[in-house]
Structure 1
């Protein structure tokens, strides 16, 4: 049996925000999906409902950005990310999600503040060169991205911490993050099924939201394709700051409530 109208009045804005994010408009929008949907169902069910929708969005995003993506960045981050998912599945019953949100949020906010500091330095005439690919940081932030994606749908900020300083072309950056999370979401299906978070009733509800998810994803890609680098990167860092601040706040509130 499908939910009533009240459910869809809450679910539709959540899916729209996540779809725009999947189109390339930043993980801050995506992070709003589960909290908004949790106003209608439990947080666990909200995450389970969104996963099939995320995968449908991934398929659209992969098609929209099929000609773009940086393979080296993708291959550098994926091993750590897969390991992070495995660790998240193995420790899901023992690690506080609120603590994880707090840690990722704090690191992301500090990362964006460092970007603002570098902008100030550049205005003083100091050149800030793009970062190079580095195995150690890639393994660290890749594992954070995989772990955060599995336990709290919060894998975007760690990805941004590694990838944004590379200063890739905006289209290549977007194609890379689309491929990265498409792979992670597909891998997450296995442990989600194992934990019993996906069942036929949830899949039926998710299916009713697929058309809206596709439209929102296409709209997000349409907007990002028309952004110049000097607009794209400040926008992405702003989205990272909003995402980090939200994770930080949710972690503090959750830990306070639990204490």
Structure 2
């Protein structure tokens, strides 16, 4: 597919800005919406290959704003689980066809929206006490797997970290650190498996300024914009795009 097409660029620019805002300002939970949106106009593998370097750029640009504000014990347990989770994701990806990946990305998006709505309506509640190491390792494994196959590790991290009762900035800083490390680790697998290409990397160069813009806006929005406003838009986008991807995969 020709990536340097105006239709694809028109979809990619807001998607990349959105990823920057989400990762830099609101805990990475919904940043995978960008890959979900891109998968509507290109092969899922291309969407994943394009987004990973941009997500890594956003991670690197976000780190200085949250330096040493993270919870290292919580980050460490997620990272230990993330290593085998990433390897499992790589093994699954090697054997899956594009429609399977498309369906999985869509299903994760729908499940994420359902979980968030159930939590906000009171149907689901997090534990009243902090989660233990075993729960953190399990969340890390899910984080690594879903991050590899759809850049959707945010929900698993959110379930664990929200249960730790961290304040907003500590929570945000911890997600920035965790996903910086996980994305760096899985980039080696992406390169070895050919998910990157010269064409996707060239497209990343075009999108890089928009990733930086989104990061800047996200850091500002972290202090100024109510989370409810941001996530209401996010849930709508994920529900629509997730449904479309599942429909495409099945038909």
Q: Place the TM-score, normalised by the shorter chain, in its bin.
A: 0.7 to 0.9
Listed as ranges, the matches of 1:1-259 within 5 Å are 3-27=4-28, 29-94=30-95, 96-97=100-101, 98-99=103-104, 102=107, 105-106=110-111, 109-110=114-115, 113-114=118-119, 116-117=121-122, 130-226=128-224, 232=227, 249=243, 253=247, 256-257=250-251
In structure 2, the CA distance between the partners of 1:36 and 1:99, relative to structure 1 (3 Å rule), is: closer
Question: How much does 1:108 deviate?
Answer: 6.7
Q: Which runs of 5+ in 1 are unaligned?
A: 122-127
Tell me how many residue pairs correspond in the alignment: 246
Give the Cα separation in 1 of the matches to 2:144 and 2:189: 13
Question: How much does 1:256 deviate?
Answer: 3.7
What TM-score comes out, normalization by structure 1 length? 0.80
Q: Which runs of 5+ in 2 are unaligned?
A: none
In structure 2, the CA distance between the partners of 1:235 and 1:173, relative to structure 1 (3 Å rule), is: farther
* Matched-pair contact (CA < 8 Å) for 1:108–1:161: no
In structure 2, the CA distance between the partners of 1:130 and 1:66, relative to structure 1 (3 Å rule), is: farther
Question: How much does 1:247 deviate?
Answer: 8.5
Question: How much does 1:2 deviate?
Answer: 7.5
Give the Cα separation in 1 of the matches to 2:86 and 2:166: 26
Question: How much does 1:76 deviate?
Answer: 1.4
Question: How much does 1:22 deviate?
Answer: 1.5
Deviations 1:1-30 (A, max 9, x none): 981433322211111111111212254642
Secondary structure in 2 matching 1:93? helix
* Matched-pair contact (CA < 8 Å) for 1:10–1:37: yes
What TM-score comes out, normalization by structure 2 length? 0.82
The answer for the alignment partner of 1:124 in structure 2 is: none
Give the Cα separation in 1 of the matches to 2:157 and 2:15: 22
Question: How much does 1:46 deviate?
Answer: 1.5
- Greater gyration radius: 1
Give the Cα separation in 1 of the matches to 2:206 and 2:33: 20
Give the Cα separation in 2 of the matches to 1:44 and 1:144: 20
Question: How much does 1:237 deviate?
Answer: 7.7
In structure 2, the CA distance between the partners of 1:153 and 1:93, relative to structure 1 (3 Å rule), is: same
Give the Cα separation in 1 of the matches to 2:3 and 2:245: 32
Question: How much does 1:50 deviate?
Answer: 1.1
